[in-house]
Structure 1
Amino acid sequence: MPSASFAAADLVRCVTDELDARVRELAALRRDLHAHPELAWQEGRTTDEIASRLEAADLSVKRLDTSGLVAEVGPDDGPIVALRADLDALPVPDTTSDPWRSSVPDIAHACGHDVHAAALTGAGTALAAVHARTALPVRVRMLFQPAEEVMPGGAKALIAAGALEGVERIYALHCDPTVDVGQVGLRVGPLTGASDAISITLAGRGGHTSRPHLTEDLTYALGVLVTQLPSALSRRLDPRAGASLVWGAVHAGDALNVIPARGRLGGTLRMLDASAWHEAENLVRRLVRDLAAPYGVTADVEYVRGVPPVVNDKLATGELGEAVTATLGASALVPTSQSLGGEDFAWYVEHVPGAMGRLGTRTPGGPTYDLHQGDLRIDERATVVAAKVLAVAALSMPIT
């Protein structure tokens, strides 16, 4: 096959034309997924909806043991390019008034995974339609991954199942409500932060609040950890690491006049630097022990290493950028900065060169929403934009 630095213009046009014809279909799928969100490792209905569409388009589909699937299209002997979308929703209520708002109490697609899944489904069916007429230059493997929102996430399960075998590039997009629809943010190098989950359980002799000196006052000890552990980390880690420990849950007792015998707090530790991430767990364990010791309580630390930073490969980022400009125009490619958000796409790019872009979902001139909030609203044009960029990115790798 002749060498090419980018997919031929007519092939790109064929793919984008196919997706232009599927705009309503993809919007309907995205709305359906949004109305029926499922939590991590429980994405059975989501998997079924996607699989039925891919199988109808004659893609090879392999379902995973829990939820999620891997689909392929293209020549058996071609180089393999992977595209990834995540499937799971979040345990937050949908507070929008859209007709397609979540029908499941206290669960919503508040991170845009419904967009990711619908877009990759569209990319797959469009590529299959083109391949039926003209052989694709690559084999495209689509990873519909469960459980991105938990630690450890589903990426490791897919890798263990062989999803990256033979893969030479991997690409993904993630919704960004601070970027206008029709734009994609890209950067070479670190894109996200490392993220770990920390849960600390304290135990001690409780008692009456009138006699704290006769107890092991773990409520007070919890307060010390809540305030002092983040402070101590800020003095023990290089400030350039950008470490941020934020608590999301604190629980201890029910009665106002009883010092409880057990208490728990939990949160996430995020940072920008991979080197600091590798030393963080041991440091946290030492600091918890030292801070809790004066109060006589026992401290059990559950430290779950989540994900390292997503580090975009230079060549892969350039190829993804070419896909953006080929489908949307030069003005669609915008710079973006590294965030503290965690993303288990990081595990894929530790094995294979790849890149993730930030997909604009904000209506120009409209409000800016935030991820992981129940009021998140997406400009629906983002779904077909993402499908086009992913499909063309799959064709963008130089072929030798």
Structure 2
Amino acid sequence: MNAQLFEKLDLAYEDMVIIRRHLHMHPELSFQEVNTAQYIHDFYAQLGIDVQAGVGGNGVVARVKGACPGKTVALRADFDALPIQDEKDVSYKSTVPGVMHACGHDGHTATLLQLAKAIFEIRENLTGEYVFIHQHAEEFAPGGAISMIEDGCLDGVDVIFGTHLWSLIPFKTIEYRSGPVMAAADRFDIVVQGAGGHGAAPHQTKDAIVIGSQLVMSLQQLVSRRVDPIESAVLSVGSFIADNAFNVIADSARIGGTVRTFSPDIRDLMEREMERIVKGTAVANDCEIQFDYFRGYPAVVNHPKETEFLKGVAESIPGVEAVEESKPQMGGEDFAYYLEHVPGTFFFTGAQIDEPYPHHHPKFDFEEKAMLLAAKTLGAAALDYQKT
């Protein structure tokens, strides 16, 4: 059956590219993907595939049943874009100012749509059921996965597979990893409330910039001095805002950033120690400091059995030249929530072009032929899982 599926996917590649470029030209931000969701729904409806829109918000779920009973396999793709101006000089450049697909979600969607069509066309020869989860709002916590799960997208599902087209991994390479593969992604917001005044009389003030600077430097020592060197953690301050005239001492300052971890214990430690540092800095400077810590997606933790299975599948895919164990990624992904409910694995499909840019870059792009390898790997995993 894999050979028949691969043949159909080869024939569908041009349509895959057309869909990807259409979506790239018409991106929509997280929780605003009305037209994209309608496009996905209409694709399935026109084929006569059972499809449900409005799942957990803007999510879309399609289901294809084989001729004989078997296991239920879910495949997932996300479809939201980012608030980034597209700076590529290509014919399919985004037509929406300040919004672009800078992470490959357009490719994920095109891949899953054409894979679903191919599976539907050979359904009379298949066993089991295939669930195609098109998820909205991956880029912005709380994300779309939670609400889609609550709305039943995983009902009856035995296993789930997902992939990410990755612009910095060589084309024709599949990367897998058992256990933690992507980090928990949290953010924090700190407001330092000092006492402003004239720049010529600093003794009469509580300088929010100086206090905030002390706080930043103390936070930067947290990982190196409080986290076990064997563990992993990242704390990055991304913004420090205290806008004033040149001769005014800042009354307040706002500091924002992100924390990335793999271990739940280290995640708890980081939040606890950050709060302690903030309180200590406030006491030392006799001021008020507000600290808010927002937990985002948990770490993506792949299941060992399903990951080993996926590795074997990837090694059998025509056109794949390397199957390698990946390093953990500090980026976040709400695919983590699916894996908390059912077994599965999330892997990376190499999609590097000659002059690659990282994800979330204004000139981000990827090798479109990687979509075909992603479709074949996901498809073979779905079909072969029926034999396990």
TM-score interval, normalised by the smaller of the two chains: over 0.9
Note the C-alpha offset of 1:204.
Answer: 2.9
Question: 1:357 matched to which residue of 2?
Answer: 347
Q: Is this contact kept in 2: 1:320–1:396, CA < 8 A?
A: no
Question: 1:110 matched to which residue of 2?
Answer: 102
Question: 1:61 matched to which residue of 2?
Answer: 51
C-alpha RMSD of matched pairs (Å): 1.9
Change (3 A) 1:240 1:291: farther
Read off the aligned partner of 2:385 and give its amino acid letter. Answer: M
The partner residue of 1:141 within 131, 146, 160 is: 131
Read off the aligned partner of 2:377 and give its amino acid letter. Answer: V
- Consecutive unaligned residues of structure 2, counting only runs of 5 or more, are none
The partner residue of 1:73 within 64, 86, 96 is: 64
Note the C-alpha offset of 1:227.
Answer: 2.2
Read off the aligned partner of 2:176 and give its amino acid letter. Answer: L
Structure 2 distance, partners of 1:46, 1:320, is: 29
Deviations 1:250-276 (A, max 9, x none): 211232222333321111111233321
Q: 1:101 aligned to 2:93?
A: yes
Deviations 1:63-95 (A, max 9, x none): 125312111111495421111111111112111
The partner residue of 1:190 within 177, 180, 189 is: 180
Change (3 A) 1:241 1:148: same
Note the C-alpha offset of 1:367.
Answer: 2.6
Question: 1:275 matched to which residue of 2?
Answer: 265
Aligned length: 386
Q: Is this contact kept in 2: 1:181–1:362, CA < 8 A?
A: yes
Note the C-alpha offset of 1:147.
Answer: 1.2
The partner residue of 1:221 within 211, 223, 232 is: 211
Deviations 1:176-229 (A, max 9, x none): 122222221112222112221111122232222222222221121221222221
Q: Percent identity?
A: 35
Structure 1 distance, partners of 2:204, 2:150, is: 52
Structure 2 distance, partners of 1:278, 1:167, is: 31
- Consecutive unaligned residues of structure 1, counting only runs of 5 or more, are 1-10
Question: 2:158 matched to which residue of 1?
Answer: 168
The partner residue of 1:287 within 277, 288, 302 is: 277
Structure 1 distance, partners of 2:43, 2:370, is: 20
TM-score norm. by structure 2 comes to 0.94
The partner residue of 2:373 within 385, 389, 392 is: 385
Q: Which stretch of the first structure deviates more once superposed, 326-335 or 141-150?
A: 326-335
Q: How does 1:305-324 map to 2 (within 5 A)?
A: 305-324=295-314
Structure 2 distance, partners of 1:195, 1:346, is: 11
TM-score norm. by structure 1 comes to 0.91
Structure 2 distance, partners of 1:105, 1:187, is: 37
Note the C-alpha offset of 1:399.
Answer: 4.3
Question: 1:177 matched to which residue of 2?
Answer: 167
Q: Is this contact kept in 2: 1:218–1:295, CA < 8 A?
A: no
SS at match of 1:150: coil
Structure 2 distance, partners of 1:349, 1:250, is: 35
Q: How does 1:335-346 map to 2 (within 5 A)?
A: 335-346=325-336
